[in-house]
Amino acid sequence: MKRLWMSALVVVLAGCGTTVQGTATPETFDSGGDTEFRDLLTECDAVADDRIAATVGGDAIARGFFGAICRWDVAGPNGIVKVTFNWFENGSLDAEREANEKMMYLVQDITVQGRKAIRTQPPNEPTSCGVTAGSPDSGVVGWWVQYLPGSGAPDPCEAATTLMDLTINLSR
């Protein structure tokens, strides 16, 4: 048994002694000019954090999850306000409308800076509202604002529309 173990050790060590000629270089990513992932996760910077906080009436903001959906918690006189931004490159207003109608949300056609958009609100929840519009390139972008119930907060639809206005304005 000892001889078998020693033979295996010699074989393993012999394989570790190979020398490769040339110069080591780090591997790089060549997308061939494809910029699809160049600005990955920068969508969350479409509107500056301080502008988001001011728009929803807050004075302190904390970023949360980032990805296809970006989230912030904003603190202010009306308590914590939940703010969500999404950018779906392959989305459409028709798909967003259909999904919201299936959830029995109230959906209204609006325009933001001349773009078709929809305003969405859950029934019996006047402290939450979302606005979705066609994005500048393709797909859709959306903002959702949710104040605490009973907080005496301002109109969440006005805040969501203002955030959309800022997003579209900055995207030109």
pLDDT band at 18 (very low <50, low <70, confident <90, very high): low
The residue among 73 and 168 whose pLDDT is bigger is 73
- Its pTM stands at 0.74
Establish if 75 belongs to a structural domain: yes
In a domain, 130, yes or no: yes
In a domain, 17, yes or no: no
- Cα dist. 73→59, 67, 81 in Å? 11, 16, 6
CA-angle at 7, arms to 4 and 10, nearest 5°: 155
Could you read off the pLDDT of 67-103 as tens digits, one per residue?
Answer: 778 999 999 998 999 999 998 888 899 999 999 999 9
Task: Specify the pLDDT at position 32.
Answer: 44
Place of tokens 């980032």: 66
Rg of the chain (C-alpha set): 26
| Residue 24: Cβ within 10 Å count | 5
The 10s digit of each residue's pLDDT in 94-134 is 999 999 999 999 999 999 988 999 999 999 999 999 999 98
- SS3 string, 11-33, reads HHHHHCCCCCCCCCCCCCCCCCC
CATH number at residue 164: 3.40.1000
As a whole-number percent, the residues of the chain with pLDDT over 90 amount to 52
> What is the pLDDT of the chain when averaged over all its residues?
81
Residue 86: what residue type? N
* pLDDT band at 143; cut points 50, 70, 90: very high
The β-bridge partners of 141 are 87, 133
- Show the domain range for 109: 42-170
- Cα 168 to Cα 172: distance, rounded to the nearest angstrom: 7
Question: Does residue 9 belong to any structural domain of this protein?
Answer: no
Residue 142 has a CB neighbour count (10 Å cut-off) of 25
Q: Going by C-beta distance under 8 Å and a sequence separation of 6 or more, which residues neighbour residue 63?
A: 44, 49, 70, 71, 72
Please indicate whether residue 133 or residue 138 has the higher confidence score (pLDDT). 133
Task: Count structural domains, the chain.
Answer: 1
How many C-beta atoms surround the C-beta of residue 167 within 10 A?
23
Residue with the bigger pLDDT between 26 and 63: it is: 63
pLDDT in the model for residue 16? 52
What pLDDT, on the 0 to 100 scale, is given for residue 45? 86
Residue 65 lies in a domain: yes
Of residues 44 and 75, more confidently modeled: 75
How large is the average pLDDT for residues 38-52?
79
